[in-house]
């Protein structure tokens, strides 16, 4: 019985809008259901209130007002055609502006692509000597083809064979490619942090430079900087890489430690082990090798190792650095071992490491960098997701 | 108990009293015919406007004038497919909506007292009556429009559920549901005043 509450029928019941059978059901239900009876009482009160609604006599002078307005020169009807004309003109204006802007917007959202050999493809379509790539489109080169992309008006990127590159964004505040696989060489003449390349293992942020990026089939990246600086980033881990230096990024880990390319082979190999090996003993042994092989020029690398080594190892890093490059005044061993920010900053300046790159946590990052680096940081090498 | 409900006001639905000749004359621009329509409906149109506009007499008068001016220019659109009153009340509701939109930018300072025609009432009784009417007006004006219109059409002009459905373009069941909700809302808002009715 209570499954068929009748409160929604209260007003209709009062108004005699129900069939006799429905009315009987309502009446019987109300006798036994307190909930519906309460609702019914509320409706009943409402009906009592609504019955207070009165017809209010209209003011006597209403008609005179209407008559006066009817007697007025009927200007509006004569201009009735103006409204649709105005609407039509507005539509034409809007459409015209949209059409006028459309080519400009398309051009702005596309980059020119030229074939440097072979048969590069954009979205699987072979391109001629020149074509354009739009946001979201994929440029592919096979083993025999190469291509050059004009990065808006700020530089150019050459795409090597066996590469896959997608245009993610281009606007006055940000130009962004994704290098899924293969290699590219970029020459950018623009303010820092305007041009970005996403890779499966992190983001390369242009700081005004020329560089190459290589992404292998596992999504791991190696950066070689030939001019200026490039920052590599994944989540809170960031490495600023100067000209003449290189840096690896491993999928699911992010950037390793930058190093000058003229460092010894054992230095570079040991550094890779220190950066990416999972075994603590291996890392410790690698650190010993790195410190032993380090030259004064490699103090840049050791400065990063101060931040990335365990406290127990940090003393040996400091001692080796101090032996290679005299610490600035007021920089103490104890302070550095405690990672005193001001002391680290002073030493960094002396080593000419870009001060606009580190420390990382205080530096604002662009929306795209944040999304990309945090996303691929989270998935740790699992299937990549496009940020589009 | 439940079958002893006594409604406090007799409801006498207003029958269509406008003949087709009056409407046809109005469609020809006959101002005298418009005057006939005006006299027939002015109080109901004004009342609906008054309750809809929270008792703002000036706004209600303006809405009423607008309704009859629109009627004069749009009467040719009336094809006789529905009752004239149905067509007219749609015009009233739309005009009230327009006026509400205009007034949204302003805070209505209109007093909420209702003109009463009660003669012979003592000043305290008249005051109490005005106050009560003002509260009823406010409560109705605060209903959502979809609940307010069925109430006004039912109690101002005594339209049936079917007629209300025709004006509002909905089903009779929807009208029943909205009236139920509207009555319940009014009862909960002003139920404590029921002894004053």
Q: Which of B50, B65, B191 sits opposite A42 (nearest CB)?
A: B191
**Interchain pair B187, A47: CB under 8 A:** yes
pLDDT at residue A332 in the model: 93
**What's the pLDDT tens digit per position in A268-315?**
999 999 999 988 899 999 999 999 999 999 999 999 999 999 888 999
Q: Chain B: residue nearest A77 by CA?
A: B73
What are the structure tokens assigned to A31, written together?
């006798």
Q: How many residues does chain B have?
A: 197
**What's the pLDDT tens digit per position in A62-90?**
898 888 888 776 545 555 566 777 778 88
pLDDT at residue A380 in the model: 39
**What's the pLDDT tens digit per position in A309-358?**
988 899 999 999 999 989 998 899 999 999 988 888 888 888 877 654 44
pLDDT > 70? residue B88: yes
**What's the pLDDT tens digit per position in A92-106?**
887 777 665 544 444
User: Per-residue confidence at B172, pLDDT binned at 50, 70, 90?
Assistant: very high
pLDDT > 90? residue A162: yes
pLDDT > 80? residue B107: no
With b for 16 or more beta-carbon neighbours within 10 A and e for fewer, the A320-333 pattern comes to bbbeebebeeebee
**Interatomic CA distance for residues B127 and B18, integer angstroms:** 37
Q: How many residues does chain A have?
A: 388
Instruction: Specify whether the CB–CB gap between A241 and A258 falls below 8 A.
Output: yes
pLDDT at residue A82 in the model: 66
Which residues of chain A are within 8 Å of residue B161 when distances are taken between CB atoms? Answer: 12, 15, 17
Mean of pLDDT values over B163-182? 93
Q: In this predicted model, which residue has the larger pLDDT, A190 or A257? A: A257
pLDDT > 50? residue A236: yes
pLDDT at residue B2 in the model: 31
Q: In this predicted model, which residue has the larger pLDDT, A37 or A359? A: A37
Size of interface A-B (CB pairs under 8 A): 151
Dihedrals φ, ψ of A268, to 5°?
-65, -40
**Interchain pair B114, A56: CB under 8 A:** yes
pLDDT at residue A101 in the model: 53
**Interchain pair A11, B42: CB under 8 A:** no
User: Per-residue confidence at A190, pLDDT binned at 50, 70, 90?
Assistant: confident
pLDDT > 70? residue A374: no
pLDDT > 80? residue B176: yes
Instruction: Specify whether the CB–CB gap between A212 and A183 falls below 8 A.
Output: yes
**Interatomic CA distance for residues B133 and A331, integer angstroms:** 84
Query: Residue with structure tokens 């004569």?
Result: A78
**Interchain pair A52, B197: CB under 8 A:** yes
Which residues of chain B are within 8 Å of residue A56 when distances are taken between CB atoms? Answer: 43, 46-47, 50, 60, 114-115
pLDDT > 80? residue A126: yes
User: Average per-residue pLDDT in chain A?
Assistant: 83
Does any CB of chain A come closer than 8 Å to the CB of residue B59?
no
Consecutive H or E run containing B49:
helix B31-52
**Interatomic CA distance for residues B59 and B52, integer angstroms:** 10
User: Per-residue confidence at B17, pLDDT binned at 50, 70, 90?
Assistant: low
User: Per-residue confidence at A163, pLDDT binned at 50, 70, 90?
Assistant: very high
Percent of chain B with pLDDT over 90: 40
pLDDT > 60? residue A369: no
- Provide the whole-model pTM: 0.47
Mean of pLDDT values over A7-22? 87
Mean of pLDDT values over A55-63? 89
Percent of chain A with pLDDT over 70: 85
Interface pTM (ipTM) of the complex? 0.77
pLDDT at residue B197 in the model: 60
Of A66-70, B98-102, B151-155, minimum mean pLDDT range: B98-102
Of A127-136, A173-182, A361-370, minimum mean pLDDT range: A361-370
Of A23-32, A43-52, A201-210, B139-148, minimum mean pLDDT range: A23-32
pLDDT at residue A274 in the model: 95
pLDDT > 70? residue B191: yes
Q: Which of A15, A55, A70 sits opposite B43 (nearest CB)?
A: A55
Q: In this predicted model, which residue has the larger pLDDT, A31 or B129? A: A31
pLDDT at residue A108 in the model: 58
**Interatomic CA distance for residues B117 and A57, integer angstroms:** 9
Dihedrals φ, ψ of A356, to 5°?
-90, 5
Helix (H) and strand (E) counts for chain A?
A: 13, 16
pLDDT at residue A228 in the model: 87
**Interchain pair B191, A49: CB under 8 A:** yes
**Interatomic CA distance for residues B82 and B87, integer angstroms:** 7
Mean of pLDDT values over B2-16? 38
């Amino acid at each position: 019985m209570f499954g068929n509450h009748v409160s929604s029928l209260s007003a209709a019941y009062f108004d005699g809008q129900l069939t006799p059978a429905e009315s009987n059901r309502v009446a019987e239900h109300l006798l036994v259901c307190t909930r519906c009876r309460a609702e019914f009482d509320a409706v009943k009160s409402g009906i009592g209130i609504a019955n207070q609604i009165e017809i209010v006599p209209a003011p006597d002078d209403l008609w005179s007002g209407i008559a006066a307005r009817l007697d007025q020169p009927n200007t509006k009807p004569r201009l009735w055609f103006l409204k649709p004309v105005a609407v039509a003109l507005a539509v034409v204006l809007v459409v015209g502006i949209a059409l006028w802007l459309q080519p400009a917007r398309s051009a702005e959202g596309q980059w020119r692509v030229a074939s440097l050999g072979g048969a590069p493809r954009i979205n699987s379509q072979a391109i001629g000597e020149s074509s354009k790539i739009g946001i979201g489109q994929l440029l592919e080169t096979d083993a025999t083809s190469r291509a050059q992309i004009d990065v808006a008006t700020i530089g150019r990127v050459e795409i090597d064979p066996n590469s896959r590159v997608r245009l993610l964004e281009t606007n006055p505040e940000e130009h962004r490619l994704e290098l899924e696989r293969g290699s590219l060489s970029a020459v950018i003449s623009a303010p820092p942090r305007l041009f970005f390349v996403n890779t499966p293992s992190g983001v390369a942020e242009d700081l005004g430079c020329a560089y190459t990026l290589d992404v292998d089939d596992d999504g791991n990246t190696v950066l070689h900087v030939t001019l200026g600086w490039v920052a590599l980033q994944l989540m809170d881990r960031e490495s600023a890489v100067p000209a003449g230096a290189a840096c690896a990024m491993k999928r699911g880990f992010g950037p390793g430690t930058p190093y000058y390319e003229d460092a010894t082979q054992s230095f570079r190999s040991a550094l890779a082990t220190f950066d990416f090996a999972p075994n603590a003993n291996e890392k410790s042994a690698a650190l010993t090798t790195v410190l032993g092989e380090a030259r004064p020029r490699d103090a840049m690398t050791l400065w990063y190792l101060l931040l990335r080594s365990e406290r127990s190892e940090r003393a040996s890093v400091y001692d080796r650095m101090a032996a290679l490059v005299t610490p600035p005044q007021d920089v103490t061993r104890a302070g550095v071992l405690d990672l005193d920010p001001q002391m680290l900053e002073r030493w960094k300046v002396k080593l000419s490491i870009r001060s606009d790159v580190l420390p990382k946590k205080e530096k604002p990052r662009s929306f795209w960098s944040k999304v990309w680096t945090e996303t691929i940081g989270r998935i740790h090498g699992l299937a990549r997701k496009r940020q589009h | 108990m439940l079958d002893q409900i006594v409604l406090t006001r007799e409801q006498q639905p207003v029958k269509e009293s406008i003949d087709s000749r009056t409407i046809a004359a109005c469609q020809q621009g006959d101002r005298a015919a418009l005057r006939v329509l005006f006299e027939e409906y002015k109080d109901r149109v004004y009342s609906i406007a008054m309750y809809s506009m929270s008792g703002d007499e000036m706004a209600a008068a303006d809405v009423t004038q607008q309704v009859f001016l629109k009627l004069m220019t749009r009467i040719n659109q009336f094809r006789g497919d529905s009752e004239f009153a149905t067509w007219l009340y749609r015009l009233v509701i739309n005009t009230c909506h327009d006026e509400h939109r205009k007034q949204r930018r302003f805070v209505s300072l209109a007093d909420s007292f209702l003109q009463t025609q009660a003669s012979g009432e003592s000043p305290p009784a008249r005051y109490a009556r005005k106050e009560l009417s003002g509260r009823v007006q406010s409560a109705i004006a605060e209903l959502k429009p979809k609940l307010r219109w069925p109430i006004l059409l039912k109690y101002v002009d005594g339209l049936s559920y079917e007629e209300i459905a025709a004006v509002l373009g909905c089903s009779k069941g929807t009208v029943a549901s909205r009236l139920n909700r509207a009555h319940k809302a009014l009862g909960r808002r002003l139920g404590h005043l029921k002894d004053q009715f």
